[in-house]
Structure 1
Amino acid sequence: MRIPIRIKIVLLLLSSCLQAQEKKFNIHTVAFYNFENLFDTINDPTKFDDEWTPKGAQNWTSEKYNQKLINLARVLSEIGNSDNPNAPTFIGGAEIENRMVLEDLIRQPKLKKFDYGIIHFDSPDNRGIDVALLYQKKSFRPITFSAIPLLLYKKEQPLKAIEKDKESDEDLTEVITEKANRVFTRDQLLISGFLENEEIHLIVNHWPSRSGGEKRSSPYREAAGLLNRKIIDSLQGINPKAKIITMGDMNDSPFNKSIKNALQAKANKQEVPEFGLFNPFENKANKGLGTIAFRDSWDIFDQIIFTESLLQKEFSSYQFWKAGIYSPTYLIQQNGAYKGYPLRHSATEVGFSDHFAVYIYLIKEIK
């Protein structure tokens, strides 16, 4: 595969730091974007989508829906263009109502030429929103994919069942755990396949929200992190050198327990052990960068984290190069109380999202 001269120049600058000889590389962009309420206009009685209908609170008409699709397609086609003129090979997405809206999205003029495939499952989320993966068919061949449920419950109440032992007359207390009030949230989407001729695994996430407060809801996201780690461990058990990328809106920062303790993600490459995980977005958070803003405080909820197997110094196979946050001027609110925030939908304007997109590059030397 020939790659544009611009890519060759940028990557030659990279390679000059490693070796004093000319090298050329192939490049792929892996992106994640929270689409923020990508709903169609049709009322689905099985979902809480009444707000996103023509007669709902958002007055969600066909005109607004179509503009939302145009807006999203523009963003998705441009993520990572500073170093790779091709649109992302992989796009993880969140807050998606159904497969139909994704089919409408990839038919947009800005995306149609890239011939994206769709991997999507309906999840049990109360709001009726799902995660999905878009992938360029020319570069990636999916082999297996599944939606792995995250089983959460609001409370666990211990109940004591007391009875007498007939022979000793001794109290026997059995502690029974009653699990009630399941929290229905998004499944974790696992996709395995081949990027060109290399096996790769991707997990797309949208972890439980901070509804009820960060501290109170943290155990839910910690459980999501533990499930994620279990999936990764299983894949590494089959192939210790498996290349695994987990991405999504984690609703937690790189410093929270779900990332640091459950996933055990590291910020420094040198600290990542064998089978460990690297999070390039922790250092970006340390610099004050963000993908979402709340009360004038920035945080990075959207992250792409991956295994040590993508941190090798030799580029004979696809390896991580660098990461970024996509936040061009047109995605930023320019005035009003939310000046500087991501430009989201409002009563007067069909925006983009309340999140910025994140991305990483994978590169491989051309022999």
Structure 2
Amino acid sequence: MPFSFFKKKTSKDLYTIAFYNLENLFDPENNARTLDEDFTPEGFKRWTPKKYRKKLSKLAKTIHGIGRPANTYPPVIIGVAEVENNSVLKNLIQTHPLEAVDYNFVHFDSPDERGIDTGLIYHQKYFKVLTSEAIPLFVDNPDGVRDTTRDILYVCGLLNGEKIHLFVNHWPSRRDGSESTEYKRITAAQVVKVKMGEIAAEEENPNFIVMGDFNDDPSSKSIQTLLEQTELHNPMESLHVPRSRGSASYKKIWSLFDQIILSHRFYRYEKGSHSFDTANIFDQEFLKELKGKYKGSPFRTFAGRKYLGGYSDHFPVYIILKYNK
């Protein structure tokens, strides 16, 4: 069930903020500067323009619907992960039905060797970008070699006139083991906290929203490190107890790596501000495997080299904010 703080309001004053790991949104072109050869027509994945367009269509449909039926309007802010470049984000927001929404985006190329980055899509009618930057995440592998991982995207802007500081994250993976890579994600949490501290030193009572694929669950040490000695609250923690739901599934075990964490200030009522209403996982049936041993899991684009033609290996997550007039 959705975690809700306020009673349900009329939809015209509700604003959905989402995060979605898009599972390798690559264009079919070969970029000589990144390891994207698998996602070309001749590559391992046999990634053709037709498959690319099909994925864009599925993702656009999903993004447009995030937050329904609790909110009838498409999200005003969507953090995304695993996007290759500016072009794929431009193609995405120009794909039906998103092309009818006044979306723009923020993106920076990161040092990730595969070329997958984070980005922020926003509805220009409701959100105005004031400043943005890519915050480097410097972590080394156990052998001392630098892990060329994703930057943390920071965007400061005005949502209906209220100033909000957003962080879009895709923390280092567990590919080499959750315990042996834990220190990398703890470092990422500390980097976010340092930036938050710098903002708090210059601005009284700032509003923070920290979203992303953290590659850790709400109870993990990295997430708890992020919350320690801050004014942050994780409304998604209650969605993962018991582990009957999640945003991704591995060996039939649900994880909630995708989360949206926000300041306690969103839990107050003040005219001209936004108050927390709902947090949930957008796990509609059309996004799921409908049969077989993975029934109920996210309907992904690929399983290894096998093309399935699905959406993503993650479900989107979202919060809904109520604007207090």
TM-score normalised over the length of structure 1: 0.83
Q: Which runs of 5+ in 1 are unaligned?
A: 1-9, 16-22, 157-179, 266-272
For residues 214 and 113 of structure 1, what CA distance do their matches in structure 2 show? 42
Q: Does the alignment pair 1:117 with 2:99?
A: no
Structure 2 match to 1:324? 280
User: Once structures 1 and 2 are overlaid, which stretch shifts more, 185-194 or 310-319?
Assistant: 310-319
- Relative to structure 1, the CA distance from residue 295 to residue 24 in structure 2 (aligned partners, 3 Å threshold; closer, same or farther) is closer
Q: Does the alignment pair 1:306 with 2:262?
A: yes
1:282 corresponds, among 237, 247, 264, to 237
Q: Does the alignment pair 1:200 with 2:164?
A: yes
For residues 11 and 227 of structure 1, what CA distance do their matches in structure 2 show? 29
For residues 114 and 307 of structure 2, what CA distance do their matches in structure 1 show? 24
Structure 2 match to 1:256? 220
Give the superposition deviation at 1:190.
0.5
Structure 1 match to 2:31? 44
Q: Does the alignment pair 1:357 with 2:320?
A: no
User: Once structures 1 and 2 are overlaid, which stretch shifts more, 225-234 or 31-40?
Assistant: 225-234
Give the superposition deviation at 1:83.
2.0
Identical columns (%): 39
Give the superposition deviation at 1:313.
4.1
For residues 215 and 254 of structure 1, what CA distance do their matches in structure 2 show? 16
For residues 357 and 24 of structure 1, what CA distance do their matches in structure 2 show? 20
For residues 105 and 76 of structure 2, what CA distance do their matches in structure 1 show? 12
Give the superposition deviation at 1:13.
4.9
Amino acid aligned to 2:234: N
Q: Does the alignment pair 1:92 with 2:79?
A: yes
Q: Deviations over 1:307-326 (max 9, x none)?
A: 11111144651111110100
For residues 25 and 87 of structure 1, what CA distance do their matches in structure 2 show? 11
For residues 313 and 365 of structure 1, what CA distance do their matches in structure 2 show? 7
1:68 corresponds, among 47, 52, 55, to 55
1:231 corresponds, among 195, 210, 229, to 195
Give the superposition deviation at 1:113.
1.1
For residues 330 and 64 of structure 1, what CA distance do their matches in structure 2 show? 18
Structure 1 contact 119–133 (Cα < 8 Å) conserved: yes
Q: Does the alignment pair 1:130 with 2:127?
A: no
- Bigger relative contact order, structure 1 or 2, given CA contacts below 8 A and separation 6+? 2
Structure 1 contact 12–24 (Cα < 8 Å) conserved: no
Could you say what the CA RMSD is over the residues aligned between the two structures, in angstroms? Answer: 1.9
2:289 corresponds, among 322, 333, 336, to 333
Amino acid aligned to 2:140: Y
Partner secondary structure for residue 214 of structure 1 = coil
Q: Deviations over 1:210-256 (max 9, x none)?
A: 02100000000010111111112222222231111010000000011
Amino acid aligned to 2:280: G
Structure 2 match to 1:29? 16
Q: Which runs of 5+ in 2 are unaligned?
A: none
Structure 2 match to 1:343? 299
The 5 A counterparts of 1:170-189 are 180-189=144-153
Structure 2 match to 1:4? none
Structure 1 contact 11–24 (Cα < 8 Å) conserved: no
For residues 207 and 13 of structure 1, what CA distance do their matches in structure 2 show? 34
Partner secondary structure for residue 44 of structure 2 = coil
- Relative to structure 1, the CA distance from residue 24 to residue 327 in structure 2 (aligned partners, 3 Å threshold; closer, same or farther) is closer
Give the superposition deviation at 1:337.
2.6
Structure 2 contact 119–168 (Cα < 8 Å) conserved: yes
Give the superposition deviation at 1:109.
1.6
Amino acid aligned to 1:284: L
For residues 96 and 11 of structure 2, what CA distance do their matches in structure 1 show? 31
Q: Deviations over 1:263-296 (max 9, x none)?
A: 126xxxxxxx8x5110011111113221011111
